[in-house]
Amino acid sequence: MAIGQGLHVQSETSPLLSQKLHQNQQTPQPYPPTPREASLYLSTGGVTFASKEYKLLLKRSAPLIITFLLEYSFTAVSIFAVGHLGKIELAATATACLTANITGYAIYQGLATSLDTLCPSSYGAGRKELVGLHCQRLALFLWCITVPIAVMWTFAPCILGLFMLQEVADLAGLYVRILVLGAPGYAAFEVGKRFMLAQGLFSATLWVLCLCAPINALLNYLFVWVFKWGFIGAPVAVVIAQNLMPLTLVIYVRFIAGYDCWKSFTRSALQDWWPIVRLALPGVVMVEAEMLAWELMTLVTSLISVDHLAAQSTISTMSSIAFNCHFPISIAAATRVSTLIGAGYSDAAKMAAKAAIGTSFAFGFMVAVFLTALRNQLPLLVTGNPEVVRLISSTLLMVEVSQLFDSLATSLNGILRGLGKQKIGGATAVFCYYVVGVPVSLALVFKVHWNLIGLAVGTAIALVLIALIEGVFVATRNWEKISQEAILRYAASDY
């Protein structure tokens, strides 16, 4: 009996493929809507169902936002712990953290977005064993990627010396070299995070970070100041915390929740990596495109004045904090959409996507209002220089526009990942940032002399275009066809 288009369809004439899916879903799953919810969706025109989607998205986004902010605190704590040692140490730590983020951590995060498509869709299709298999494959892939990253970080003093004082480059390079020891742990935690999210366990990684973030702060204090290790104590503390995170998560999975999708290690994890890689590479482009654009803008301001550089660095930090709120919402959206698509509920997936867009718009609006209301107070938390405060305050009025559309664009990126359309997001990001946004910014800075305002205008234009292009793409997709493709893919998958 058909419940509705894109929802649960099963009849005597249904293909054997759907019958196989039905057999795999004899145990009710917590993610797809129940038959009662599906009927409610049809009878109310989706209004009540939509309200549930909003509540569900908010419930799942909240712990993720805190998780990402706690992860970001690793960088903030290190800078705070080392900053009082001297200006050179402070500059070196900030440079090292930036280098590690762009050349390592952002790559891991981007590659891990492939699991936003594969794991929830497998779980929604009732193929729990595939969730663990996908995670095993990506973990091995990330550890392979760690080799060239480690080589790059090993030669960091020489590379960084091309762009800055050698004294700063040497210390920053030493910091990054030590971080090599924590890279495999960080990569494993990114995989474990998606493993838990696919099962609807959105608070698991939060509990892990609630333990590891304070340990990181304590170790920074002990190593840098109590044990008198000085500068080297900060990266050592970070490495210990990064390796502790996946170990703690393993204990959580084994003894608390999440073990249902783990079927032990299998040799199948050593083969068929292409589906992972095909989705992972565009994911890296989506994450790196925006981050590199912001850092390029920061480098540009160094050609104007030191005050402008300090102001733009502060604005970039504020934007990074905001992004660590936007990105978790997109992960929750990707997970929900992908799970519903894998379960065959295309109409419900479309409703979940609309809820994600509405939520991200509301959140972006709140961030914009917050930045506007406190544009004169927030800079004082970072600096007491009157000129730098003035530059930040005047630029935040335009940055608020960027944040509104950054939230939308990030959410749409999540929906695209849920649909398995990462290539669209990657291509759109590259075009909008580097064909439109960056050239416009440079023109406004050096030709019109708008300086920081010009940078903010170019970035805002890029984000508006991304939101518009991806929004049109999502709105015009055949969701029923995408759902059928997902069902075919997972019904044919072998463990």
Please report the pLDDT score of residue 492 as a whole number. Answer: 54
Greater confidence, 438 or 35?
438
More confident residue, 51 or 212: 212
The pLDDT tens digits for 128-175 are 888 999 999 999 999 999 999 999 999 999 988 887 778 888 998 999
pLDDT for 489 equals 63
Could you tell me the maximum CA-CA distance found in the chain, to the nearest angstrom? 75
More confident position, 51 or 213: 213
Give per-residue pLDDT as tens, 452-486: 999 999 999 999 999 999 999 999 988 888 888 77
Q: How far is CA 494 from CA 90, 231, 268, 272, 489, in A?
A: 52, 50, 9, 11, 10
- Ranges 68-72, 309-313, 485-489: which has the least confidence: 485-489
DSSP state of 332: H
CA distance 122 to 50: 24
What average pLDDT does this structure show over 62-87? 84
For residue 101, the tally of other CB atoms under 10 A from its CB is 17
More reliable by pLDDT, 61 or 494: 61
Whether pLDDT at 409 is above 80: yes
Tokens for 354, please give them. Answer: 């609309």
**Cα 272 off chain centre by:** 25
Query: Where is pLDDT greater, at 284 or 344?
Result: 284
Which of the 8 DSSP states describes residue 270?
A: G
- Distance (Å, whole) CA 27 – CA 188: 30
Q: Dump pLDDT digits (tens) for 349-372.
A: 888 899 999 999 999 999 889 988
Contact 349, 432 (CB under 8 A): no
Report pLDDT for 405. 93
Q: Is 164 left (phi over 0), alpha (psi -120 to 50) or beta?
A: beta
Q: Which residue has the higher pLDDT, 168 or 41?
A: 168
Is a pLDDT exceeding 50 seen at residue 25?
A: no
Residue 3: pLDDT over 60: no
Let me know the angle formed at the C-alpha of 264 by 262 and 265, rounded to the nearest 5 degrees: 120
Given this model, what pLDDT does residue 66 score? 92
Give the pLDDT confidence score for residue 99 in this predicted structure. Answer: 87
**pLDDT number for residue 249:** 95
Please return the burial class of 151, using the count of CB atoms within 10 Å of its CB with bins 0-12, 13-18 and 19+. Answer: exposed
Question: 344 falls in which pLDDT band (50, 70, 90)?
Answer: confident
Domain residues of the chain, as ranges? 65-272, 278-495
- Cα separation, 333 vs 327, whole angstroms: 10
Hey, what's the torsion of the CAs at 433, 435, 438, 444, to 10 degrees? -130
Tell me, what amino acid is at 18? S
pLDDT for position 1? 33
pLDDT-wise least confident of 211-220, 221-230, 329-338, 340-349 = 340-349
Per-residue confidence (pLDDT) for residue 20, from 0 to 100: 36
pLDDT of residue 46: 55
Q: What is the pLDDT of residue 173?
A: 93
Q: Round to whole Å and give the CA distance between 153 and 159.
A: 9
pLDDT more than 90, % of the chain? 38
Burial-class residue 256 by CB neighbours within 10 Å (0-12, 13-18, 19+): exposed
Name every residue whose Cβ is closer than 8 Å to that of residue 172 and which is 6 or more positions away in sequence. Answer: 91, 92, 93, 95, 96, 99, 156, 157, 160
**Rg of the Cα atoms in the chain:** 23
Distance from C-alpha of 151 to C-alpha of 493, rounded to nearest angstrom: 36
Helix (H, G, I), strand (E, B) or coil at 269: helix
Residue 61: name the closest of 281, 304, 362 by CA.
362
Lowest mean pLDDT segment, chosen from 53-57, 243-247, 296-300 = 296-300
The pair of three-digit structure tokens given for residue 131, joined into one six-digit string: 């969730």
pLDDT digits (tens, 9 = 90+) for 170-205: 998 999 999 999 999 999 999 999 999 888 888 899
Task: Indicate the range of 224-238, 261-275, 418-432 predicted with least confidence.
Answer: 261-275
Q: Which amino acid is at 396?
A: L
User: Mean pLDDT of all residues in the chain?
Assistant: 83
137 φψ region: left (φ > 0), alpha (ψ -120 to 50), beta (else): alpha
pLDDT at 10: 33
**Residue predicted with more confidence, 462 or 308:** 462
Q: Which residues of 192-224 are buried (b: 16+ CB within 10 A; e: fewer)?
A: bbbbbbbbbbbbbbbbbbeebbeebbebbbebb
Residue 41 has a pLDDT of: 47
**Among 349, 346, 320, 328, residue whose Cα is nearest residue 197:** 328
Q: What is the pLDDT of residues 371-403, one digit of tens each?
A: 889 888 888 876 677 888 899 899 988 888 888
Q: What is the pLDDT of residues 247-288, one digit of tens each?
A: 999 999 999 988 888 878 888 888 888 888 888 888 888 888
- The string of DSSP letters for 379-443 reads GGGT---HHHHHHHHHHHHHHHHHHHHHHHHHHHHHHHHHHT-HHHHHHHHHIIIIIIIHHHHHH
- Phi, psi angles (nearest 5°) of residue 232: -70, -20
How far is the C-alpha of 388 from the C-alpha of 248, rounded, in Å? 42
Q: Which of 397, 447, 152, 117 is closest to 283 using CA atoms?
A: 117
pLDDT over 70 percentage in the chain: 87
